[in-house]
């Protein structure tokens, strides 16, 4: 007897799955029964081994999502390699830091193109396939800066605020077509991207003092939320941005 969180027979796509949050989500989806396509410009061999170790198929799809050029090819390759596309997780993203008065157009465009433009067009390409089949799950990775302003990351804040709005827009258009579109907003997660913050004694202490759970999150902490939003358990959840933050926003 299957349970509502069972992903057996499903094919998931996870972008930026070579490490960190993307790897944690990919492994969790595999452990729930999904075959997983790992999309990115960096090698995801380690993640592929973890997926296969969970008894599921893994496909490696090389793509640089700083432009939308490879988007349709990604969808086509996943369908060819794994036989379908049921779940899309838009995790790939970048960040550039500088004071707002000194922020360059180059850094603005690079972040917006990767974090927002490519996310939309990958949703569009996957959505066309899903709508034709009458079912599908899309999970965008938002941020605490989908809710807050932050400092020194203007393009990142703009992109992640855009991801939250885009998630709601797509849910409005596609819910009646059998497609669930939601987002996960990770809190402070211990990954390579946050290594400098963890190593900064003062900043690390300040962060931990605000998190009610009193610890940094790990990539695996996002797995349950991803499985929920990818499964039939979330069939009546639409346009929601789920914070997985140890209580950061509640504080």
Active site residues: 156
The side-by-side arrangement of strands in the sheet containing 241-244 is 58-62, 35-40, 11-15, 87-90, 136-141, 179-186, 241-244
Among residues 114, 142, 138, the alpha carbon closest in space to that of 244 is found at 142
Provide the pairing of β-strand 87-90 with 241-244.
unpaired
Query: Which long-range contacts does 93-96 make (Cβ < 8 Å, 24+ apart)?
Result: 93/16, 93/141, 93/159, 94/66, 95/153, 95/156, 95/193, 96/153, 96/155, 96/156
Helix (H) or strand (E) holding 124: helix 118-133
DSSP SS3 for 210: helix
Handedness of CA 41, 117, 77, 134 (dihedral sign): positive
């Amino acid at each position: 007897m299957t349970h509502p969180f069972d992903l057996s027979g499903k094919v998931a796509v996870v972008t930026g799955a070579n490490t960190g949050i993307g790897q944690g989500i990919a492994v969790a989806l595999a452990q729930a029964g999904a075959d997983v396509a790992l999309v990115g410009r960096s090698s995801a061999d380690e993640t592929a081994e973890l997926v296969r170790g969970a008894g599921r198929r893994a496909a490696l799809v090389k793509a640089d999502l700083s432009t939308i050029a490879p988007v349709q090819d990604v969808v086509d390759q996943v369908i060819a390699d794994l036989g379908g596309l049921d779940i899309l997780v838009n995790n790939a993203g970048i960040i550039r830091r500088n004071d707002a008065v000194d922020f360059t157009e180059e850094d603005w465009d690079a972040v917006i193109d990767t974090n927002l433009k490519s996310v939309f067009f990958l949703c569009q390409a996957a959505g066309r396939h899903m709508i034709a089949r009458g079912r599908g799950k899309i999970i965008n990775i938002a941020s605490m800066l989908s809710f807050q302003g932050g400092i020194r990351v203007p393009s990142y804040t703009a992109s992640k605020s855009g991801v939250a709005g885009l998630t709601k827009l797509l849910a409005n258009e596609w819910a009646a077509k059998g497609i669930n579109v939601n987002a996960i907003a990770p809190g402070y997660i211990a990954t390579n991207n946050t290594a400098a913050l963890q190593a900064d004694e003062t900043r690390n202490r300040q962060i931990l003092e605000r998190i009610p759970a009193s610890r940094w999150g790990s990539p695996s902490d996002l797995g349950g939320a991803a499985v929920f939003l990818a499964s039939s358990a979330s069939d009546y959840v639409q346009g929601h941005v789920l914070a997985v933050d140890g209580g950061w926003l509640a504080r």
